[in-house]
């Protein structure tokens, strides 16, 4: 399951966004450090295709893909050295697949800002510097160990790892993110297992005013180098309290097509290059999230590890065709393809895997 850590300065809307996304109420009091334990909530990934398949096949249950959101206490300047609740919660971030960085861009005299005024770029740089400094501690300890090993004998692997660590020290020492470094494939083999905070993909959610949330010409205050999306946490927290049938009307009145939940989830999938394939039968209709580029045997292995080993073939029907013709109709029309071990899965594939003994 995809795990996303929600981070940011205190009072930027993190916990309110979390409770909106997960519909799990957390303490959102208007003061720093009110979140003293990471709150975890699992969110279903909305996918109307799944309901269509379940209806067609009279499936007993629907199992959607899911994302786990972790609400992490507000970080402040000095968090890497233990200021606020930094050290503990920076460890929580390390366990996530990606980061959702919430940035405040709205003005409200009733909601205090820890630095006295609203400045999205300054706030982003504060958090990024703290993440970089925390990673720098990890890298400096590691390079000391590698240097000691090299005294006993230099190997190709040690030299590659040492080169990668030097790149990290230079970049992190400037308060820059590790994911901005152009590593070779060989270097990445040593960098990835370190689970560095600044090597994670980041989606910046800019908490904006109601007017900016509906502005089709909105321009990110974070520049073009950061993947950012505008979202009014206030609006979203109101929408989630409405009955389902009224939510769409509210969105249309505001000039919005999708809820913040749908947009955040879509951005998370896009940021991590994930796609969804579908399986369906009398017992269940189910969505499976996989990295783009995964082959059919690897996708089968997501269901069960033995499936990859004993993979024979995949019977694949694009959802649009399956939805129109059904399982039998698609086969009779020659629209269901038989794919082998080299087939690369596509988003929306409805698949039946043939597995040997």
- Full DSSP string of 101-161: EEEE----TTS--TTSS--HHHHHHHHHHHHHHHHHHHHHHHHHHHHHHHHH---HHHHHH
Q: Which of 13-22, 41-50, 51-60, 237-246 has the highest mean pLDDT?
A: 51-60
At 25, the pLDDT band (50, 70, 90 cuts) reads very low
Per-residue pLDDT at 28 exceeds 60: no
Minimum mean pLDDT among 124-133, 251-260, 287-296: which range? 251-260
Per-residue pLDDT at 30 exceeds 50: no
Strands 201-207 and 66-71: unpaired
pLDDT value at residue 31: 44
Instruction: Classify 289 as helix, strand or coil.
Output: strand
Q: What is the residue whose two structure tokens read 């749908």?
A: 262
Burial 267-300 (b: 16+ CB within 10 A, else e): bbbebbebbbbbbbeeebbbbbbbeeebbbbbbb
pTM: 0.83
Residue 53 half-sphere exposure toward CB, CA atoms < 13 A: 30
Mean pLDDT across the chain: 88
Residue 41 half-sphere exposure toward CB, CA atoms < 13 A: 20
Which of 70 and 50 is assigned the larger pLDDT? Answer: 50
Indicate the helix (H) or strand (E) that contains 355.
strand 349-355
At 83, the pLDDT band (50, 70, 90 cuts) reads low
Which of 94 and 340 is assigned the larger pLDDT? Answer: 340
Query: Where do the DSSP E strands lie in 87-128?
Result: 98-104
pLDDT value at residue 65: 87
pLDDT value at residue 10: 84
Q: How far is Cα 20 from Cα 104, in angstroms, rounded to an integer?
A: 16
Per-residue pLDDT at 16 exceeds 80: yes
Which of 185 and 88 is assigned the larger pLDDT? Answer: 185
pLDDT value at residue 80: 56
Which of 152 and 140 is assigned the larger pLDDT? Answer: 140
């Amino acid at each position: 399951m995809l795990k996303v850590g929600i981070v940011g300065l205190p009072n930027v809307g993190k916990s309110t966004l979390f409770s909106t996304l997960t519909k799990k109420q957390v303490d959102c009091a208007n003061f720093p450090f009110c979140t003293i334990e990471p709150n975890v909530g699992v969110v279903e990934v909305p996918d109307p295709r799944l309901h269509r398949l379940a209806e067609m096949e009279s499936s007993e249950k629907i199992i959607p893909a899911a994302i786990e959101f972790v609400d992490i206490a507000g970080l402040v300047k000095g968090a890497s050295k233990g200021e606020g609740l930094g050290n503990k919660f920076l460890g929580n971030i390390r366990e996530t697949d990606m980061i959702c960085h919430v940035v405040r861009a709205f003005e409200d005299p009733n909601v205090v800002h820890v630095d006295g005024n609203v400045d999205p770029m300054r706030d982003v740089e504060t958090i990024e510097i703290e993440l970089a400094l925390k990673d720098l501690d990890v890298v400096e300890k590691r390079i000391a160990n590698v240097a000691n090993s090299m005294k006993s004998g230099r190997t190709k692997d040690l030299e590659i790892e040492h080169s990668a660590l030097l790149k990290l020290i230079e970049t992190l020492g400037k308060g820059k993110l590790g994911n901005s470094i152009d590593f070779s494939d060989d270097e990445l083999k040593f960098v990835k297992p370190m689970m560095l905070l600044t090597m994670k993909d980041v989606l910046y959610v800019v908490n904006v005013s109601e007017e900016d949330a509906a502005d089709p010409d909105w321009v990110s205050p974070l520049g073009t180098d950061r993947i950012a999306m505008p979202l009014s946490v206030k609006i979203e927290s109101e929408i989630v309290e409405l009955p389902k049938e009224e939510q769409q009307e509210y969105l249309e009145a505001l000039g919005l097509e999708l809820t913040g939940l749908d947009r955040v989830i879509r951005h998370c999938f896009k940021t991590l290059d994930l796609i969804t394939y579908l399986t369906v039968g009398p017992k269940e209709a189910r969505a499976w999230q996989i990295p783009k580029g995964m082959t059919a045997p690897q996708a089968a292995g997501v269901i069960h590890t033995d499936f990859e080993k004993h993979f024979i073939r995949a019977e694949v029907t694009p959802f649009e065709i399956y939805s129109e013709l059904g399982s039998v109709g698609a086969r009779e029309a020659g629209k269901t393809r038989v794919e082998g071990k080299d087939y690369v899965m596509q988003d929306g594939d409805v698949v039946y895997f043939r597995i040997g003994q």
